[in-house]
């Protein structure tokens, strides 16, 4: 059942008890909320050491990726080829890419060992022969590896997403080499895995070498990851990459989702311990520490309402269940779908806390939904943060409108 906001039916909100896990909200036109600081393909590409990124698309699409590169201070590792309206009818788009990439690479101080080329939905609509393009580029630059990436949100609900494709293409740059025993890669993470985490400690204390692209300092060090015999990934965007590496290089893999609750985390660690043939350590002291921290946090927050969203975690329903089980007042969850890994926690919340509001992050009704709350609210994640920050955003927008136009 849809909810009423200020007396009007809002298609972007419903109670959790009324949500269909197969489809929370009907697929319609989509709203892109002004919370634009989330992780994106530029961040991911910059993790590959010594690589250069080239984006080929229209100026409107280029705006966001350029801002990300500038934010990271990485404009020296980032280039663009802008597509104009005339390119729809008058350009040889294969030649435009080949000559444009050639001009960019010849203008760099030195050739990078790897180049990530991002084509756009435009090239699929125009039937651009990308196989020919990459063949020509590899002939011109035999010492450079080219990753065939996409910046194509048009097809991501029916096909591989840009994030999944990018991760797969990055790891396709690995060249086969003999596998080394007791070596493990952590794939597809946005940030380095904490050296004190239970996952890392379980591996290292049992004699395993752990490698991670996010900690590599050179392209040669990144290539060394191809010698590992085993891959672990926690980010669901890594599914395609892990399966591809299994098929191509014979590297086995284990998916350990980013859960929040103890039994889910212990199940992950049990799977890892069984995979590397070691006993599972006693984690009861660590759980006791977490309980004390949660009790202290609950004492501080009291009945403060909490809103959370999927930009904070890949498992928002796992986090919401953890908080509810410890007496926190979760009032809103911003998500447009539930992953298979998060389904059991969604079902539990639906049965026991069905009054929680479920909000879409991209339904068009979000555009006209009133912002702000009557009291304090703890917002976890950027989409949820709009609830509180929208009045500030409006002031900033009015101030900077001339620059935006």
What CATH code is carried by the domain that includes residue 67? 3.40.50.1980
Q: Which of 173, 96, 82, 165 is nearest to 137 (CA)?
A: 96
User: Is 349 inside any structural domain?
Assistant: yes
The highest-confidence range among 29-33, 283-287, 360-364, by mean pLDDT, is 283-287
Question: What's the CA dihedral at 120, 121, 122, 123 to 10 degrees?
Answer: 70
Strand order in the sheet with 114-120: 78-82, 52-57, 114-120, 145-151
- Is the per-residue pLDDT at 351 higher than 80? yes
Question: Does residue 92 lie in a domain region?
Answer: yes
Do 136 and 252 have their domain in common?
Answer: no
Q: Is the pLDDT of residue 225 over 70?
A: yes
CA distance readout (Å), 217 to 46, 75, 174, 387: 12, 18, 16, 40
Mean pLDDT of the chain: 89
Q: Helix, strand, or coil here: 216? A: coil
The residue with greater pLDDT, 3 or 395, is: 3
At residue 387 the predicted structure's pLDDT band, cuts being 50, 70 and 90, is low
Q: Report the number of distinct structural domains present in the chain.
A: 3
* Same domain flag for 193 and 252: yes
User: pLDDT, tens digit, for every residue of 59-76?
Assistant: 888 888 998 999 899 999
Asked if 235 and 268 sit in the same domain, the reply is yes
Segment 140-161, tens digit of pLDDT? 999 999 999 998 777 666 678 8
Q: What is the pLDDT of residue 2?
A: 55
Sign of CA dihedral 240, 146, 144, 115: negative
As a whole number of Å, the CA-based R_g of the chain is 23
Verify that 393 and 325 share a domain, yes or no. yes
Has residue 380 been placed in a domain? yes
Burial class, 315, CB count within 10 angstroms (exposed 0-12 / middle 13-18 / buried 19+):
buried
Residues 314 and 241 occupy one common structural domain: no
- Mean of pLDDT values over 27-39: 78
Asked if 164 and 48 sit in the same domain, the reply is yes
> Are 45 and 21 in the same domain?
no
Contacts of 133 (CB under 8 A, 6+ apart): 94, 97, 98
Q: Let me know whether 256 and 292 are in one domain.
A: no
> Do residue 341 and residue 256 come from a single domain?
no
Count CB atoms within 10 A of the CB of residue 143.
7
Residue 259 lies in a domain: yes
Instruction: Give SS3 for 211.
Output: strand
Q: Confirm whether 354 is domain-assigned.
A: yes
Please indicate, yes or no, whether residues 126 and 237 belong to a single structural domain of this protein: no
Least confident piece of the model among 27-36, 43-52, 283-292, 355-364? 27-36
**Which residues are paired to 275 by β-bridges?**
none
With H, G, I as helix, E, B as strand and everything else as coil, classify residue 311: coil
| H or E stretch covering 319 | helix 316-325
Domain presence at residue 281:
no
**Position 111 in a domain:** yes
Contact yes or no for 258/234 (Cβ under 8 A): yes
Domain membership flag for residue 280: no
Smallest CA-to-CA distance from 123 within 161, 163, 81 is with 81
Q: Which domain holds residue 91?
A: 41-171
According to the per-residue pLDDT averaged within each range, which of 122-131, 295-304, 379-388 is highest?
Answer: 295-304
Confidence class for position 352, pLDDT limits 50, 70, 90: very high
What is the pLDDT at residue 373? Answer: 62
């Amino acid at each position: 059942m849809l909810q009423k906001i200020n007396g009007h039916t809002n298609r972007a909100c419903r109670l959790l008890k009324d949500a269909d896990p197969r489809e929370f909200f009907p697929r319609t036109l989509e709203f892109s909320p002004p919370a634009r600081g989330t992780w994106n393909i530029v961040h991911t590409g910059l993790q590959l050491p010594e690589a250069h990124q080239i984006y080929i698309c229209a100026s409107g699409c280029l705006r966001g990726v350029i801002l990300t590169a500038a934010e990271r201070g990485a404009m020296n590792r980032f280039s663009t080829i802008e597509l104009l309206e005339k390119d729809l009818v008058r350009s040889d788009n294969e030649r435009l890419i080949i000559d444009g990439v050639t001009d960019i690479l010849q203008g760099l101080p030195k050739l990078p060992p790897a180049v990530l080329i991002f084509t756009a939905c435009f090239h699929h609509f125009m039937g651009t022969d990308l196989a020919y393009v990459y063949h020509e580029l590899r002939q011109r630059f035999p010492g450079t590896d080219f990753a065939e990436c996409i910046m194509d949100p048009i097809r991501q609900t029916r096909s591989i997403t840009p994030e999944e494709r990018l991760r797969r293409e990055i790891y396709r740059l690995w060249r086969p080499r003999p596998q080394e025993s007791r070596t493990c890669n952590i794939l597809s993470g946005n940030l380095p895995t904490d050296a004190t985490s239970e996952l890392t400690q379980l591996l290292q204390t049992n004699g395993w070498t752990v490698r991670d692209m996010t900690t590599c300092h050179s392209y040669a060090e990144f290539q060394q990851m191809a010698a590992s015999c085993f891959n672990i990934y926690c980010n669901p965007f890594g599914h395609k990459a892990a399966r591809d590496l299994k098929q191509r290089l014979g590297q086995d893999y284990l998916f350990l989702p980013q859960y929040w609750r103890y039994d889910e985390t212990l199940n992950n660690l049990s799977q890892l311990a069984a995979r590397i043939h070691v006993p599972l350590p006693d984690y009861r002291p660590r759980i006791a520490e977490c309980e004390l921290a949660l009790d202290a946090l609950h004492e501080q927050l009291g009945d403060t309402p909490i809103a959370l969203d999927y930009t904070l975690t890949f498992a928002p329903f796992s986090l919401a269940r953890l908080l509810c089980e410890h007496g926190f007042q979760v009032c809103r969850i911003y998500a447009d779908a539930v992953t298979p890994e998060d389904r059991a926690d969604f079902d539990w919340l639906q049965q026991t806390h069905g009054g929680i509001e479920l909000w879409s992050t991209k339904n068009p009704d979000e555009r006209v939904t009133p912002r702000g709350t009557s009291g304090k609210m703890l917002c976890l994640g950027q989409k949820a943060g709009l609830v509180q920050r929208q009045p500030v955003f409006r002031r900033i927008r009015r101030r900077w409108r001339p620059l935006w136009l």
